[in-house]
Each structure stands twice: as structure tokens, then as C-alpha cells.
Structure 1
Amino acid sequence: MNAQSEVLVQFQKMIEKELIYSVYQPIVSLQDGHVMGYEALIRGPKDSPFHSPLAMFQFAEQQGELYMLEQLAREKAIQGSILEHPQQLLFINISSQVLYDPGFVPGKTLEILQKYGLRPSNVVFEITERSSIEDFSLAQKILEHYRKQGYRIAIDDAGAGYSSLQAIAELQPDFIKIDRSLIENIHKNKVKEYILETFVTFAQKMNISIIAEGIEHADELIKLTRLGVHYAQGFLLGRPNESPAKVQDSLKILIWQHRKVQGGGMTWSIGDLKTPVKVFDNKVQVSEVAEYFKKKQEDVGVVIVSEEAPVGLMMRDRLFQQLAGQYAFSLFWNRTIDGIMDGSPLIVDEFMSVEQVSQMATSRSINHLYDLVVITSNGKLAGVASIRTILESITNVRMESARVANPLTGLPGNLQINRELNKRMSENKPFHVVYADLDYFKWFNDRFGFQKGDQLIQYTADVMQQAIAVCGTPYDFVGHVGGDDFIVISSTKSPELLCQETIRRFEQGVQMFYEEEEWEYVWDRIGNKVKSEGVTLSLSLVVCSCESPISLEHISQTAALLKKKAKAHQGSIYYFQNIG
């Protein structure tokens, strides 16, 4: 037997004995750092030439066995699925060639899903670029059939070639996966950044979600988060595995901080809008829910739960429409509510931003557009929000942000700073305040011009936010007092490390503003000649233990004394003091 025949025998044995298995790579939300779903990646036996999926699928294609392999791969992906709750998604790869295979029977996948307790709403078919789509009109018909059953569609490898862009235009997928070639070193490449910005803008207009693939470095993650990319996947966030992933807390903080600064610091979380809702167990009878709606005319919907976790939604109008048919009343009245509830409502974590929830809610089908949004806290029901409440809050936030944010940096101004400080003091929990002030900024402005001065102010704002992203917590706050003065309000356990990181980042980049000029002396605000290499950063760290009452005046006075000390010292430095 020659080598080629041996390999074929090995391949046939692998298929017959179902020796392939699935590993799962997490896809993470760049709004809150939680795992949105998993991509199923097929592997062959570890000691065979088919362990690599590329080798396996290439060989199957050459032998005309691609459909058989993909069918088995789909079953293995579903069989080993590690989805942790009904809102997570399972991304299953299918090559465009398989769409046209007469054996690609629409009902087959549904049978497998039902066998393992999943629904079509959990599945995203990811069309890979192993071969480009040849007949778009036929592909559209096939995919539309799947969409009607509840499946979603993703186009893989976008940005890697023209064919994927054509597929996006023709198939209008639910997700676009951006190829690693466009993501790699995006924080250093402005052309890549502009291309991705175009993708994000286009996707927003089309209600399509963007998934960036192949993220390996924190700087790439930061750039993608700040560009408004929806989801991310890559070794940095989690390697393919056979068990559920846990995203590192440090990466969640990174995502939170860079997400929050996009809206100028006025972003609300959906949890701020939650209201109580009537709850029913998923095994109560339809009659009990209907009787409740008859008594409570003002309630538009109820949440269906199983062990405190929401598993469905029953809207009043939909229930009574269901019962209005000729035989529907007798058919459904004594059945359990889980048989007719909406089993895939929009369920979001309380910390997700209102704007993100609004995008998700308004991209639902017209039949579900005005359904309640279910809000959870640590996986348990926290309340609901209506579409009207969500849209009103966005309008109010934008008006408030435009009115009080600093026009240069977009950071919260003094009104919001005072509000945040009062909130922290009322909570009676330890927090830290860092006041930041640029030294010799007036000299810099006079020498290099106000435009460069504005750029240095914006750079300092970025430095403060980046330092918080690395050393802070998801609930930290960065504000712009005015001019060259900034404030950070943080609950980090390492406030000194936060100051050190701020100074390190500032010093690392401030040199680029000097245009290679040289000088020996600068002038301070009152005109004194001072020996200095340029603009430096003075930080005052006020550690508020909250063991005894403190006031805004006390914090302000302490910070002023520390600032005086810092400014008397040459170079960038911080001084700290404990109060309360």
C-alpha cells in the first residue's frame, strides 16, 4: 500500500469511528468583557496527519468527502457544546461549497440541536473562505431558509480579500469577522485603523455586529475597544479549549475603561434603568399567566424563570393572540408556559451600557421590537427595561453630556466631578482621588502655540484614561477640571501604582511634542527662569479611607498642599496623604 492510500485509509477510519473532536474559543464582548459565545474548532486525532484542521479539510476536499466531514464536524461541535446560558452563541464553520451540496439537508442540523438541548437561536453559521461563493442568489435562498428557523449568519475573514466584501454586500450577515491580517498591530497602523473604522460605521448602519479575530496583544484590544468594535476573539482573550473560558479580570477592566471613555464619561449602564417585573416559573400553566394579565391591565409582560435565572419572556399581547385562535384556548390553557413563551428574549447584564442595549434592542425583528429587555445581575433576574425608557435615557444623557462635558477632551466637567465625589462619600467605602496638573504648560503654550497646547492637553487626558485601564477598576472616573488640571476618582487597591503608571506613560510620550527643539531653561507661570527639560506632571494622591466623615473641602485642601509639594520638586512626581 502506497503512502497516499495509507493516508486515505486513516482518513476513512477517522470518519467512520468519529475520531474528530471540537475545541471552543471564546468570543468576548467589548462592551462588558463577558463571553458572548464560542467558535467551535474541529481537531483530528492528536497522533494523525489530520490533527490540523487545515490539513483535514484540504484532504477531504481533494477526495470529494468535504460534505461528510463537515456534517460530522457540525454534530461534534453541537455535541460537545460548552454554552453556559441560553443567550450565548455557538459559531459553527461551514464552507461555502457545502451550501450547494444536495445532501446539505436543512432539517438535519435541527435534529442534532434538539438531541443536545440547543435551539437554532444559539447557532451562528460561519461561512469560511475555503472557497468563494459562486452563486449568490442560490446562497441567499438557502441562508434565508435557515434565518427563518432562527439561525444567524457570519462572514469569516472579512478584510482578507474582495470575495468576502462581496459576500457581505450580497448576504447581509448578522456578524462580520475581521481577519487577523487587518487586526495585527492596528494600534501602530493608521491605514488599518481607518479601514476598520469604515467597517464599524457600515456595520452600525446595517445592524451588523463586528468580531475582530486573532487578538494577541493588549494594545490591539484597547484600540479595537475604542474604535467601537463589538466583539473580539484571540489568544489574548482565550485559547481554544474543551471547557468554558474565564476572561481575566485585568482584561475586563481594560475593556470597561476604554469602552466607558467613548461617550465622554456620561455612559449609563442598563442596570440604572431596571424596574421590577412579575416572575413566573417556567412550569406554571398558561392559565395562571393569563389570569394575572387580566387582573393587572398595566403590565405589558412577565419574565419566565428557572431557578432564579430568566429563561423566557411572555408579552401580554402575544399571549392573548396565541389564545385567540379557534381551538387555541382549549389547546394551550392547561399547558405549561415554557411551551409558548419567547425562549430567546434579549437578556443583558446590568453593567452593559444603555447605548449598546439600545442597538441590540432596535436591531430585533419588528415582531419583537417593543418587547421588554430582561436585565440580570450575576446571572439572576434583576428587572426589566422598556424600549421607551432606554431611548429617553439616551436622549437625556446626550443632552447632559453636551451641556457639561469639557469641549476639548470630552471628559466630564466640574458638575459631574462634584456629583461623583459626593456619591463616593455617601457610599462610605474607601476611594482615592488623584489630582493631576501640568508643570510649565504656559511656557509650552507660548513657545509652541495653542494648537500644540491643545494636543498636549488631549494627550494628558488619554494618559490618565490609559493608566486607569491598566491599574484601575471598572467603576473608576476620569474628569477634566479645566485647563491643564485633571482628576481621577478610583477604588483601586494600588493607588500608588496608578500614579506611577500615569507618570510613566506621560514621560514616555511627551517628548514627541517638542519637535526636536532643545533648551536649557523654561519659565514658570510667574515668569521665573527654571532649569528643566520641559513639561512635567505633578500628582496629588488623596487616600480616603472613609473610617470617619470627610468633606469636599477636606479633600480639596489636602490635594492643594500635596500639589504645592509636588511643584516644588523638579520632574514628574506624586505625593500622597491618607485622610478620614
Structure 2
Amino acid sequence: MKHHTLWPLRVQELVNSLKEDKITMINLQESIQLHNKPFVLNFYHKPEHAERSFVEQVQPRPHFHPLIDLFTGMIMGYEVLSRGTEPYETPHKMFGEAKRLGLMWELEKACRVAALQKIVSFPGDLRSATYFINVSPDCFSDSRFIERFTQKRMMEYGLDQRQIVIEVTEEKSFGDYDQFQKLVTHYVNQGFKISLDDFGAGYSGLIALIACTPHYLKLDMAIVRDVHKYDYKQKLVKSIATFAASVNSKLIAEGIESWDELELLVKYGIRYAQGFLFGRPQETPYGLSEELKEKIASLVKKYDQTKADLDEQIGSMVIRPPTVQRHDILCRALDDKFKKSPHMDHVVILDGESVSGLITRQHFYLETGGAFGYQLFQKKPVDVICKHQPLIVEDRITVTALARLAMDRFQEDLYDPVLVVDSQARFIGSVTMKQVITKAVELEVRCAMAANPLTNLPGNEVIRHWIHDALMEPEYTIIYGDLDHFKGFNDVYGFLMGDELLRLTARVMSENMSLLHKDAKLGHIGGDDFIMVCPGIITEESLTSLCRAYDQAKLDLFKHDHVKNGYFEIIDRQGNPAQVPLVTISLAVIDSRKIWIDPHPALFSEVAAALKKKVKQMTIATGESGYMFEQRNYSKPKTTSG
């Protein structure tokens, strides 16, 4: 180890030597606060070939971890992670050793190069996907990275810089936030997108967020872990989600490992997710299984039930726009088409029957405008300047889901048409934003009219659809719920507390619907009447658990002495004092075992009315919520011939 004493005038010489990789700084023993004093630096010269030998020993290999769009079940991108060979098979080991040796830049560079080389080896769809590439704060601000990681370098690889997201880790504080903001602007102006990783893990996250307003914000796994168990974590997630939405940053929850965590995040409107729940990083990018997609869709639908049941698919809205095949038309020819057809808004670029890109009139003239734009692009194929990652959806997507997807795009893509494909990814047509917004507003009005204003549960129009659909299935269960002693509760506690009891009933039943069936649906008929429509035959155990959960939760609304006594007192219609038991819920259960196939829906109201009287007698006698299955058989009426 050599010790050198340097005067401040030689600082820049030292810095230049460091940047040229001639030496590696080990320790700064005294800061340069006083410009008339020397400072001491300990450094050593790198052993020859140290960089090459270490990187060759690590042999970093890119692995790909999918980021999921929960609203569609589709992959919105892949994070590129690096793995090495033994003894550096984990990121912790290989980057830890690189840091000890002073070779962080060299290893990060090798990982990036390996990632880009792997990406360009993929076939069309995977090659044009979005990739998140991790970059440390030191590397992000390093002049070598600024000079080498550019739009031009991406073009040399055959990649579009717009598909690359620079994911800046939050492992340490940024030294100069003004400089950090300038660097972010530098990369964004070239077409790259920025993601702030591990948000919440370090102390610099909020300042960095304010400084750069990233395109993506990745919620740290320490916050996500067991988020369903901790109220303070849930409040933090809600606050961050609200702030991210206000600055147009897309929030991604990473590190999800359980369905409980995912359900809580979906409940709070988190749209993008990443974690081992969906699979581990692999050397080749992969998608989700149909089973996973269906399970995610069920969760999302659970927290948007009213809209889901009144919604419409977009198939009838699709229009076939002009299309061209890749490399078949030059920009000069497309310019002629736009000029001859003033109402032509966009053209879709196809590769066979699959979408390759989109070019709108506005985007075309923005790219080819300026003093030299037309001369530069006129003889090039249009796919050189088209948008390679337009919003593409399957024709089975609903209007409200599409509206959320479309309005969640970045500003420059916000009003582009949406491209529609079938289940085999074959292009069908497009839908304009005017169509989407008009239809979405119409459905919002219908949903508002259909939902109960007090509990926000689906009302009678939706319930009729549910019952109709249930009757088409071989097995189903319909449960009518009615509160007992609700009028007495209103008389003693007042109408406001009565409303609160109805909201509590809706909440408890909603939270416990999964006990009945994962696809069970809850509606509010009106007043203190509720209904549950479930596929299959419901077990007695699940109904018992639901009743117990309700009887426990309702106690929060009663006075202590009423809970202790098990009743409250009212004045009856004759003016006499009377004791009324605490409110309970009576469940009248009717299933397909006792009803003939394809009955008239009015039959259920008739059967339920008689059954509710019986179950109410039981709950009044026990003082506990309860249920009763219909035991009578209802066969189809015989028809007589004249």
C-alpha cells in the first residue's frame, strides 16, 4: 500500500486517473474542507488483468423475471437479473466481491452487455418487449456510463431505446440531487424510461422521487412482505399509491410471495406486480399459466364486481384500420397516403397476422418534421419510426378494463388508438379513445344507478343477471340474508347507527365470501335484505363460520351493557317496555338439489319468504345468527293437454 500526499490543485489529475481505471481509491482519510491544506488518500494500483480475470470467473448470465399487469394478466415487462458461477452464483456474493476488489463498474458493465446480447438473440415479440436493467447510483452518474449507454449504442445492438427502462437502485443516497435530476432528463430525452428500485428501503427514496419523477416506482419488498397483517404498511401503500398516481408514475409492488399479499394490494388498486408467487427468474423470459391468469382475474373482479357484471366486451367496437406489412412501404409513400386520405388517423404495421407496430398521423409528422426530418426518413421503411410497443389487448377485454389501461399510458401515448387481437394474437382491428371514453361514461352511469348507494354493493339489476346465470349451471346455491331486530336497533340507536350496521353487514359478508366459494357474489336487495349467489353446493361449515364472524363483528356497534345483557330495551307499540335480543342475521339457503332445472326466477322469492320465517324463529330462540337449508323438493309443474 502506497501513501500519497496531494495538494488540491492535483485533485482533478487524480480523478482523471481513477476514471481511466489506472488506480482504485480505497479510503479518504481527510476531507478537503480547507483548500490550503493537503489531504491524504490511500490507493493501490490494480493488478494487471484483475478486471478480466474476475469477470471471467464470475461469467454473469442474465435471468428474466416477469412484471405482471394484474388488470389484464399480461406481462408488461421483464426485470433483468444477473447470476454468476460458483462461488458467485448469487448477486450478493458476486457484487459483494466486486465491491471488495473495487471492480463494481467492471462487473455491472459485463452484466449489462450480457443482458443486451441475450435480448437481441430472442425472436420478434420477446426482442421488442420492455426490459428493466439495474444500474447502481454510482454507475448511473459515471461519465463512462453516460458516454456509452446511449440511444446510438442501442441502435447498434438493434434495439429501440424506448423498450429499455433504467432501474436505479436505492442502495445508497444520491450525493447531488440536482445532478441526478439532470441525468434523468438526459436519458429521458434520448427515449429511455426511468425506474426507481427498492423504494422505501433506503433513506433517499422520497428525495430521489421528488427529484426525478420516474416513469416507474418499485415498492420495496420489505413493505410488501406480510402487508395484509400490518395496518401501518397498508396505510403506507395507500399513501404511496396515491402520490405515484398524482405524478403519473406507475407503481410496481415487488417481492410478492403469497396470495394474501396480492389480494390486499389488488384491493388498494395496485396494478403492477412482481414476485416469486408468479415464478422464479429464468434464463428465458416466460409468461403466466392460464391457471394463474384466471386466479388473478378472479381477485381483480372481486373488488370491482358491480362494473364487471354490467360491463361489455369491446368486440362490437372494433374497426379494421389500414394496415401494411413490415418493410413493404417507405415513409415517402406513407406521407402520400396521409395527404390523400385526410381522415386516416393511423396505420398498423403487421408481421404476417401479428402486430409489429403502430404509426399515427401525429407521430409520423412529428418524427419526419423539422428541417431535415423528411430527407432523413423518406427512403426508409415506416417500421423504422413506428411505435413498437402500442397498447395491444385481446378482444375479450371489457370496456371499463380497457379504459383504465388506456388512460394509464404515458403522456405521449395517451390518445393513441388501442389495437385488438384474438386469443391467437392475430390482429383484428383497433378502437379509438373517443369510442372508449364514450362507452366507459355510459357504463359508469349504469353502474352508479345499479349499485346500492349505502353499501355500494350491486343492486337488483345486477342480481337478476346473477340469478339468471346461476340457473344455467348444473349446481348453484342462492342465499337470502335478512337482519333480525333491525327496526328495534334503529329505534334505540338512531338511523345513522342503523346505516352503520348495514355497512358493517356488507363489509363482514364481503370479507367472508371466499369461505363460501371463490366466485361467490354478494348483492344488496334493499333495506336489511342481502343476497349471495354461489356456484356449486355450499357447505354447512362455511355458513357457520360466516354467522360466527358476523356475531363477533356486530358487538362493536352495541353499548357495553347491552352486550353484557344480550339484549336492549325498547318501547313497543302498546307503550310497554320490551327486551329485544341483539341483532342477528338469518340466512335462507336454497340450492339446486331441491329445485328443478331452469325454474322461473320468481320461484326463489316465494320459497325464500317461507324459509326466512322458519330460520328467524330459530335465531330468535338461540340469540345467534343462523341458517336453514330448504328441505322441500320443488319439481317442475306438470302441464295438461286440452
Q: TM-score, normalised by structure 2?
A: 0.73
How far the C-alpha of 1:283 sits from its partner, in A, is: 2.8
| 1:572 and 2:614 are equivalent in the alignment | no
| 1:236-315 pair list within 5 angstroms | 236-243=277-284, 244-246=286-288, 248-249=292-293, 251-261=295-305, 268=311, 271=314, 274-278=317-321, 280-283=323-326, 285-286=328-329, 298-315=343-360
| 1:140-155 pair list within 5 angstroms | 140-155=181-196
The residue aligned with 1:457 is: 502
How far the C-alpha of 1:207 sits from its partner, in A, is: 0.9
How far the C-alpha of 1:472 sits from its partner, in A, is: 5.6
| 1:399 and 2:445 are equivalent in the alignment | yes
| Code of the aligned partner of 1:44 | G
| Code of the aligned partner of 2:456 | G
SS at match of 2:314: helix
Per-residue CA deviations over 1:176-233 (Å, capped at 9, x if unaligned) read 1112232233333333222222212211211111112222333322221111122122
The residue aligned with 2:433 is: 387
The residue aligned with 2:418 is: 373
| 1:66 and 2:104 are equivalent in the alignment | yes
| Code of the aligned partner of 2:186 | H
The residue aligned with 2:204 is: 163
| 1:124 and 2:165 are equivalent in the alignment | yes
How far the C-alpha of 1:171 sits from its partner, in A, is: 0.7
Does the aligned pair in 2 maintain the 1:23–1:40 contact within 8 Å? yes
The residue aligned with 1:5 is: none
Say which of 531, 538, 557 aligns to 1:496.
Answer: 538
| Code of the aligned partner of 2:100 | Q
| Code of the aligned partner of 1:412 | P
How far the C-alpha of 1:488 sits from its partner, in A, is: 4.0
SS at match of 1:104: helix
The residue aligned with 1:225 is: 266
In structure 2, distance between residues paired with 1:444 and 1:410:
22
In structure 1, distance between residues paired with 2:50 and 2:543:
58
Say which of 436, 457, 465 aligns to 1:411.
Answer: 457
Per-residue CA deviations over 1:22-52 (Å, capped at 9, x if unaligned) read 333332223234332232222222x31x223
Does the aligned pair in 1 maintain the 2:459–2:525 contact within 8 Å? yes
In structure 2, distance between residues paired with 1:324 and 1:185:
52
Change (3 A) 1:546 1:563: closer
How far the C-alpha of 1:296 sits from its partner, in A, is: 6.2
| 1:44 and 2:44 are equivalent in the alignment | no
How far the C-alpha of 1:172 sits from its partner, in A, is: 0.6
In structure 2, distance between residues paired with 1:306 and 1:269:
30
| 1:339 and 2:378 are equivalent in the alignment | no
Change (3 A) 1:51 1:472: same
The residue aligned with 1:32 is: 72
In structure 2, distance between residues paired with 1:550 and 1:292:
59
Does the aligned pair in 2 maintain the 1:522–1:534 contact within 8 Å? no
Per-residue CA deviations over 1:340-384 (Å, capped at 9, x if unaligned) read 432221223456665665455446566544321223443343542
> Aligned pair count?
562
In structure 2, distance between residues paired with 1:424 and 1:295:
54
SS at match of 2:319: coil
Change (3 A) 1:57 1:164: same
Does the aligned pair in 2 maintain the 1:440–1:522 contact within 8 Å? no
How far the C-alpha of 1:137 sits from its partner, in A, is: 2.6
In structure 2, distance between residues paired with 1:485 and 1:302:
53
Say which is worse superposed, 215-224 or 376-385, in terms of deviation.
376-385
Change (3 A) 1:158 1:343: same
In structure 1, distance between residues paired with 2:579 and 2:427:
61
How far the C-alpha of 1:535 sits from its partner, in A, is: 1.9
Say which is worse superposed, 106-115 or 206-215, in terms of deviation.
106-115
Does the aligned pair in 1 maintain the 2:193–2:215 contact within 8 Å? yes
Task: Give the structure, 1 or 2, with the largest relative contact order (CA under 8 Å, sep 6 or more).
Answer: 1
In structure 1, distance between residues paired with 2:193 and 2:75:
18
Does the aligned pair in 2 maintain the 1:282–1:338 contact within 8 Å? no
Say which is worse superposed, 296-305 or 33-42, in terms of deviation.
296-305
How far the C-alpha of 1:386 sits from its partner, in A, is: 1.7
Say which is worse superposed, 225-234 or 443-452, in terms of deviation.
443-452
Per-residue CA deviations over 1:501-528 (Å, capped at 9, x if unaligned) read 465345235403214724567999x99x
Say which of 601, 605, 618 aligns to 1:552.
Answer: 601
Say which is worse superposed, 409-418 or 459-468, in terms of deviation.
459-468
Change (3 A) 1:235 1:518: farther
The residue aligned with 1:4 is: none
Does the aligned pair in 2 maintain the 1:31–1:256 contact within 8 Å? yes
Change (3 A) 1:256 1:337: same
| Code of the aligned partner of 1:572 | G
Change (3 A) 1:366 1:68: same
Per-residue CA deviations over 1:488-510 (Å, capped at 9, x if unaligned) read 445x4x4426x864653452354
In structure 2, distance between residues paired with 1:574 and 1:77:
62
Per-residue CA deviations over 1:463-485 (Å, capped at 9, x if unaligned) read 444455677677x7543211232
| Code of the aligned partner of 1:225 | V
Per-residue CA deviations over 1:52-107 (Å, capped at 9, x if unaligned) read 31232233223221111111222333445589657853222111110122221455
How far the C-alpha of 1:563 sits from its partner, in A, is: 4.5
The residue aligned with 2:481 is: 437
SS at match of 2:478: strand
In structure 2, distance between residues paired with 1:445 and 1:300:
60
Does the aligned pair in 2 maintain the 1:467–1:505 contact within 8 Å? yes
Change (3 A) 1:567 1:108: same
The residue aligned with 2:59 is: 19
Q: Any gaps of 5 or more consecutive residues in structure 2?
A: 1-47, 620-624, 637-642
| Code of the aligned partner of 2:538 | E
In structure 1, distance between residues paired with 2:579 and 2:128:
61
The residue aligned with 2:525 is: 481
| 1:137 and 2:137 are equivalent in the alignment | no
| 1:187 and 2:236 are equivalent in the alignment | no
Aligned-residue RMSD, C-alpha: 4.4
In structure 2, distance between residues paired with 1:496 and 1:265:
23
Identity of aligned residues (%): 27
Change (3 A) 1:466 1:267: farther
| Code of the aligned partner of 1:413 | G
Q: Any gaps of 5 or more consecutive residues in structure 1?
A: 1-7
How far the C-alpha of 1:162 sits from its partner, in A, is: 3.5
The residue aligned with 2:29 is: none
How far the C-alpha of 1:326 sits from its partner, in A, is: 9.5
Does the aligned pair in 1 maintain the 2:451–2:457 contact within 8 Å? yes
Does the aligned pair in 2 maintain the 1:282–1:306 contact within 8 Å? yes
| 1:75 and 2:113 are equivalent in the alignment | yes
In structure 2, distance between residues paired with 1:464 and 1:26:
35
Change (3 A) 1:144 1:328: closer
Change (3 A) 1:423 1:455: same
SS at match of 1:137: helix
In structure 1, distance between residues paired with 2:568 and 2:275:
47
In structure 2, distance between residues paired with 1:24 and 1:12:
25
How far the C-alpha of 1:259 sits from its partner, in A, is: 3.9
Does the aligned pair in 1 maintain the 2:485–2:581 contact within 8 Å? no
| Code of the aligned partner of 1:71 | K
How far the C-alpha of 1:410 sits from its partner, in A, is: 1.1
Say which is worse superposed, 553-562 or 219-228, in terms of deviation.
553-562
In structure 1, distance between residues paired with 2:617 and 2:51:
75
In structure 2, distance between residues paired with 1:451 and 1:78:
62
In structure 2, distance between residues paired with 1:545 and 1:108:
70
